[in-house]
C-alpha cells in the first residue's frame, strides 16, 4: 500500500514519475494521476484528492520473497568465485527467467545493488598527512599549444608537495630520462631542498615493469640526489591523487585561456 503523501514526497525528491513508480511499485500513470489531482486541489478546481482513508493498492510484486532469496543465494555464492567468473545482474536475471520467474531485468539489478550495499566490503582509503618535507609527487601531463600558427604537443612535468600543496611545473618538448632528471634538478633548486620520498606512477624512466624493479639509471640518480623513489600500485591513482589533480589544475590555469 502506498498513500498519496508518499507519492508527493518522492516526486518532490526525484522529479520523475518513473522513479516514483519504481520506488512504490506502481505504474507511472498512477503516480501522474494523483499528482495531477493534487495540482487541481491546489488550484481550487476540486475539493480533495481522495477521501482521507483512501489508499492506493499496489499491483502484486514480481520481486517476491522467493525470487529475492534466489538472487541473494546467487550473490552469496559469487563471493567464493574468482572475480572474473562471478555472475552479473544480467546473468542472474537470465537464470531466473530460465527457472520460470516473470521478472524484469531492472528489478533484478536494483535488488543486486541493494544487497551489495550491505553485504559486500567496500574499499576504504585512509587520508595520509605527511610531515613537512617528507613527500613529493611527480607526474607528466600533455599540453597542445599553437606557436606561430603551428600546433605542437609538449609535456608538462609537475611536482606537488602534499603537505603544503605547493605546485611546481616545467614544460618540455620531450619526456625522456633527460627531461625527467632536469625537471627534478630545477624542482630541488626551486624549493632549496630535497624531499625524503618522491612518488611516481609506473613510467618507464622510473620503473622497469618487465623486470619488476626500479630503473637502474634513475635509482642511481635518486641515490646521488638523496631521495627515495616510490612507485604506485597499478591502477591506483588515489595513491598519488594530489599530483593527478595538480596536472589538470596547472594545465587549465596556465593554458586554458587563449
Residue 1 confidence (pLDDT): 39
**Per-residue pLDDT for 159 more than 80?**
yes
Distance CA 155, CA 151 (A): 13
| CA-to-CA separations, 208 to 203, 205, 231, in angstroms, rounded | 8, 8, 11
Q: Residues near 216 by Cβ (< 8 Å), separated by ≥ 6?
A: 208
Whole-angstrom distance, CA of residue 117 vs CA of residue 38: 35
Going by their DSSP bridges, the two strands 213-214 and 207-208 should be labelled as antiparallel
Report residue 4 as a C-alpha cell: 498519496
Q: What is the pLDDT of residue 93?
A: 93
Q: Which pLDDT score is estimated for 248?
A: 82
pLDDT band for position 47 (50/70/90)?
Answer: low
Greater pLDDT, 66 or 252: 66
Higher pLDDT, 125 or 153: 153
Question: Backbone phi, then psi, for 154, in 5-degree steps?
Answer: -125, 165
- Residues 103-115: tens digit of each pLDDT: 888 889 999 999 9
Q: Would you kindly state where each structural domain of the chain is located, as residue ranges?
A: 1-59, 65-119, 135-255
Number of H-type helices and E-type strands within the chain: 9, 7
Report whether pLDDT(56) > 60. Answer: no
The 10s digit of each residue's pLDDT in 63-89 is: 888 999 999 999 998 888 887 788 899
Query: How many other C-beta atoms lie within 10 A of the C-beta of residue 67?
Result: 19
> 49 pLDDT exceeds 70?
no
The H or E element containing residue 218 is helix 216-225
Cell of 228: 627515495
pLDDT for the residue 168:
94
Mean pLDDT of 211-230: 92
Provide mean pLDDT across the span 142-161: 91
pLDDT confidence of 45, banded at 50, 70, 90? low
- Whether residue 127 is predicted with pLDDT greater than 80 in this model: the reply is no
pLDDT for position 30? 81
pLDDT averaged over every residue in the chain: 82
Place of cell 609537475: 158
Instruction: Give, in order, the Cα–Cα distances in Å from 118 to each of 25, 67, 112, 121, 222.
Output: 22, 18, 11, 8, 46
The CATH number fitting domain 135-255, selected from 3.30.420.10, 3.50.50.60, 3.30.2010.10, 2.60.40.420: 3.30.420.10
Amino acid at each position: 500500500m502506498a498513500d498519496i503523501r508518499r507519492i508527493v514526497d518522492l516526486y518532490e525528491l526525484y522529479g520523475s514519475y518513473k522513479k516514483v513508480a519504481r520506488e512504490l511499485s506502481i505504474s507511472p500513470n498512477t503516480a501522474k494521476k494523483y499528482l495531477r489531482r493534487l495540482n487541481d486541489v491546489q488550484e481550487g478546481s476540486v475539493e480533495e484528492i481522495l477521501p482521507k482513508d483512501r489508499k492506493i493498492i499496489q499491483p502484486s510484486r514480481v520481486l517476491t520473497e522467493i525470487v529475492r532469496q534466489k538472487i541473494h543465494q546467487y550473490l552469496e555464492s559469487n563471493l567464493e568465485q574468482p572475480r572474473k567468473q562471478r555472475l552479473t545482474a544480467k546473468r542472474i536475471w537470465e537464470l531466473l527467467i530460465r527457472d520460470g520467474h516473470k521478472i524484469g531485468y531492472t528489478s533484478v539489478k536494483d535488488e543486486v545493488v541493494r544487497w551489495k550495499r550491505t553485504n559486500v566490503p567496500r574499499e576504504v582509503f585512509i587520508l595520509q598527512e605527511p610531515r613537512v618535507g617528507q613527500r613529493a609527487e611527480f607526474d607528466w601531463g600533455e599540453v597542445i599549444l599553437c606557436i606561430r600558427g603551428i600546433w605542437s604537443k609538449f609535456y608538462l612535468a609537475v611536482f606537488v608537495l602534499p603537505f603544503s600543496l605547493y605546485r611546481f611545473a616545467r614544460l618540455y618538448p620531450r619526456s625522456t630520462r633527460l627531461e625527467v632528471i632536469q625537471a627534478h634538478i630545477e624542482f630541488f633548486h626551486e624549493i632549496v631542498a630535497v624531499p625524503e620520498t618522491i612518488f611516481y606512477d609506473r613510467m618507464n624512466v622510473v620503473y622497469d615493469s618487465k623486470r619488476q624493479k626500479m630503473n637502474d639509471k634513475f635509482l642511481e640518480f635518486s641515490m646521488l640526489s638523496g631521495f627515495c623513489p616510490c612507485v604506485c600500485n597499478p591502477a591506483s591513482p588515489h595513491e598519488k591523487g594530489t599530483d593527478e589533480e595538480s596536472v589538470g589544475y596547472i594545465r587549465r590555469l596556465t593554458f586554458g585561456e587563449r
